[in-house]
Amino acid sequence: MTIWIAIGATAVGCYLVKLLGLSVPAGVLERPLVRRLAALLPVALLAALTAQQTFSDGQHLLLDARAAGVGAAALALVLRAPFLVVVAVAVVVTAGVRAL
């Protein structure tokens, strides 16, 4: 039964956070600092998630084929390759390193 209490509490918490976001006055959202942070926050969160999933295994730092794939994708991005090419380069490099 405690799992259902946790699920219910999480659902109520998510609703309250969403309601809090909707109740912020429009004047606050139009400030330049808030607009800049709102634009950069998703990028930072995605980068942190990618780094955590690529370079860690539980509690340990891990450098394996995934790190090589991310490095190759970063290089392809620097060279201004299209998105599908970046993904393909990352897949090929990761598979190649794993095959070795």
Note the pLDDT tens digit of each residue in 56-89: 887 888 888 999 999 999 999 999 999 999 999 9
pLDDT given at position 26: 86
Distance from C-alpha of 13 to C-alpha of 74, rounded to nearest angstrom:
37
* The Cα angle at residue 89 between residues 86 and 94, in degrees rounded to 5: 125
pTM of the model as a whole? 0.61
pLDDT of residue 21: 85
pLDDT at res. 57: 84
pLDDT digits (tens, 9 = 90+) for 9-43: 999 999 999 999 889 898 888 999 999 998 999 99
What's the confidence (pLDDT) of residue 44? 95
pLDDT for 29 = 86
